[in-house]
Structure 1
Amino acid sequence: MTHALTTYHEAVHAALHLLADDMGYEIPRHADTLQKRTYLRALMNMRGPAPLPDGYPEAEAIVLDTERDRRGTVTWEDATASSTHPRIALWRGDITRLQVDAIVNAANSAMLGCRAPGHTCIDNAIHSAAGLELRQACADAMDERGDGPSGFPTGEALLTPGFHLPARFVIHTVGPIVSGGLTQAHREALARSYRRCVEEAAAHGLDTVAFCCISTGVFSFPQEEAARIAVATVSDFLESAAAGADDLHVIFNVFGDRDEALYRALLGL
Structure 2
Amino acid sequence: MEKTELVLKLNAMLLNEMPQYQAFAADFSGNAVSQRRLLRSLMNLRPPMPLDGSFVNLQDELLKAEREEKGVVYVSDITMSFGENILLWKGDITRLAADAIVNAANSALLGCFHPCHGCIDNAIHSAAGLQLRMECDSLMKQQGHSEPVGQAKRTKAYNLPCRYVLHTVGPMVLGEVSRTDRELLASCYRSCLTLSEELGLQSVSFCCISTGEFRFPPEEAAHIAVRTVREYLIKGKQELKVIFNVFKESDFDLYKNLLAKGAD
| Equivalent AA in structure 2 for residue 49 of structure 1 | P
Distance between the aligned counterparts of 1:72 and 1:79, measured in 2? 14
Distance between the aligned counterparts of 1:129 and 1:81, measured in 2? 26
Matched, 1:195 2:190: yes
Note the C-alpha offset of 1:32.
Answer: 2.4
Note the C-alpha offset of 1:179.
Answer: 0.5
Instruction: Render the CA deviation track for 1:124-150: whole Å, top value 9, x for unaligned.
Output: 000000000000000001111222xxx
Q: For residue 268 of structure 1, give the secondary structure of its aligned residue in structure 2.
A: helix
In the alignment, what sits opposite 2:35? 36
Instruction: Render the CA deviation track for 1:146-188: whole Å, top value 9, x for unaligned.
Output: 22xxx11000000000000011110000000001001110000
| Equivalent AA in structure 2 for residue 31 of structure 1 | G
Distance between the aligned counterparts of 1:54 and 1:198, measured in 2? 35
Matched, 1:218 2:213: yes
Distance between the aligned counterparts of 1:267 and 1:21, measured in 2? 51
Matched, 1:249 2:244: no
The 8 Å contact of residues 29 and 35 in structure 2, kept in 1 or not, is answered as: no
| Equivalent AA in structure 1 for residue 128 of structure 2 | A
In the alignment, what sits opposite 1:76? 75
Question: TM-score, normalising length from structure 2?
Answer: 0.94
The 8 Å contact of residues 68 and 165 in structure 1, kept in 2 or not, is answered as: yes
Unaligned runs of 5+ in 1: 1-5
The 8 Å contact of residues 104 and 171 in structure 1, kept in 2 or not, is answered as: yes
Instruction: Render the CA deviation track for 1:179-209: whole Å, top value 9, x for unaligned.
Output: 1001110000000000000101110111111
In the alignment, what sits opposite 2:250? 258
| Equivalent AA in structure 2 for residue 191 of structure 1 | A
Question: TM-score, normalising length from structure 1?
Answer: 0.92
In the alignment, what sits opposite 2:233? 238
| Equivalent AA in structure 1 for residue 222 of structure 2 | A
Note the C-alpha offset of 1:257.
Answer: 1.8
Q: 2:114 aligns with which of 113, 116, 123?
A: 116
Unaligned runs of 5+ in 2: none
Q: For residue 153 of structure 2, give the secondary structure of its aligned residue in structure 1.
A: strand
Runs of 4+ in 1 over 6 A off after TM superposition: none
Distance between the aligned counterparts of 1:104 and 1:207, measured in 2? 14
Q: For residue 242 of structure 2, give the secondary structure of its aligned residue in structure 1.
A: strand
Distance between the aligned counterparts of 1:210 and 1:194, measured in 2? 11
Residues 30 and 251 of structure 1, relative CA distance in 2, 3 Å threshold = closer
Matched, 1:182 2:177: yes
The 8 Å contact of residues 101 and 209 in structure 1, kept in 2 or not, is answered as: yes
In the alignment, what sits opposite 1:3? none
The 8 Å contact of residues 82 and 267 in structure 1, kept in 2 or not, is answered as: no
The 8 Å contact of residues 18 and 53 in structure 1, kept in 2 or not, is answered as: no
- How large is the Cα RMSD of the aligned pairs? 1.4
Q: Percent identity?
A: 47
Q: For residue 204 of structure 2, give the secondary structure of its aligned residue in structure 1.
A: strand
